[in-house]
Structure 1
């Protein structure tokens, strides 16, 4: 805000009137009359200045109209064109990558199945049943871990992968649906009992599936032991020579 001082004109008018009246009355004809007129006008000016002081006004600087200067119109920069060429879908980091597409697909299905079993187990409060499902989960993880290390044995789990595992998950999903009805009676109770009894058989089947994968390993172990025993015997390193 700018301040502007506005001087009062009344004291000035009063001084003018003093001189005018003194001139009319003839007091300005002598030197002494002029001096006395000066004194009177000074006194009148000071007294009236007290009663009619100068006014201070605030002037808003924004009131001053600035000249309208036309700004040059800015040219809009053209937006960069988006590349519409379809890009290949980036592979997720959490997906297994072994360099073998068939093995990758099997391991991905296995990971999804294990996650589904875990999620279903979280929805089942029954302690005994939950322990059975946990055992199924562990066996499933072991089967896929073996196949990852021995991809040449992928063919041995085809039936397990395409039928036994998805059917087991389907039974657990049906159990959760029956359980969530909040009552065990009639058909609901019968269906839940059948699934509960079936889980023991599922565990045995999964155990045998895992065990069968080690059949070739046991054959190799047996062959290595036989060769080692024959070499030890031929060199007299067996216990019979002592």
Structure 2
């Protein structure tokens, strides 16, 4: 069987590589961030993004719908984590610092949910294909008299 990366176009490989680079940057920032709850959220985000990238390698057609992932969502996530890391290191945690940290913490929850939805969306075409196949199968089974069909009329 062909290596997965050999099936991808150079652009698709670049997309996956960019995504993996952002995950690596998140890993470095996660190691620097002390807050355990924030660290858990980062790990959860990395897991979902990893699944999205694995899905993109497995089914390159989904990459077309993921352009904002590496163009905006992941770089912004990394930027927010970098800001959080810097804020966390400040010796005096005043109102502005505390407020910014809190906003970032909430945004990480929002991002995690959004990335989960994005991952689920990568299965949309497969889901439609499965539904269509099942409908045709049921119709053929009913047509052959192998199941009760929706058009069966009882005397």
> Shared topology, TM-score over 0.5?
yes
1:208 pairs with one of 107, 117, 132: 117
Confirm whether residue 154 of structure 1 aligns to residue 63 of structure 2. yes
Mapped partners of 2:132, 2:6: distance in 1: 33
Alignment check: 8 A CA contact 2:16 2:57 kept: yes
Deviation at 1:225, TM superposition (A): 0.6
Q: Counterparts in 2 of 1:24-103, with a 5 A limit?
A: 98=7, 100-103=9-12
Deviation at 1:239, TM superposition (A): 6.0
TM-score, length of structure 1 as denominator length: 0.57
Q: How many residues align?
A: 146
Task: Give the structure with the higher percent helix.
Answer: 2
2:53 pairs with one of 144, 162, 165: 144
Mapped partners of 1:227, 1:179: distance in 2: 57
Q: Counterparts in 2 of 1:99-138, with a 5 A limit?
A: 100-138=9-47
Structure 1 residue aligned with 2:85: 176
Which protein is bigger by CA-based radius of gyration?
1
Task: Give the structure with the higher percent strand.
Answer: 1
Alignment check: 8 A CA contact 1:98 1:104 kept: no
Mapped partners of 1:121, 1:140: distance in 2: 15
Structure 1 residue aligned with 2:96: 187
Alignment check: 8 A CA contact 2:8 2:60 kept: no
Alignment check: 8 A CA contact 2:8 2:57 kept: no
Mapped partners of 2:148, 2:93: distance in 1: 66
Deviation at 1:153, TM superposition (A): 2.1
| Larger relative contact order (Cα-Cα within 8 Å, sequence gap ≥ 6) | 2
Alignment check: 8 A CA contact 1:124 1:130 kept: yes
Mapped partners of 1:174, 1:232: distance in 2: 60
Mapped partners of 1:97, 1:127: distance in 2: 39
**Structure 1, unaligned stretches of length 5 or more?**
1-95
Mapped partners of 1:217, 1:206: distance in 2: 18
Q: Considering only aligned residues, what root-mean-square deviation do their CA atoms show, in Å? A: 1.8
Deviation at 1:146, TM superposition (A): 1.0
Regions of 4+ moved over 2 Å? 96-99, 235-241
Matched position secondary structure for 1:236: coil
Mapped partners of 1:113, 1:198: distance in 2: 17
TM-score, length of structure 2 as denominator length: 0.86
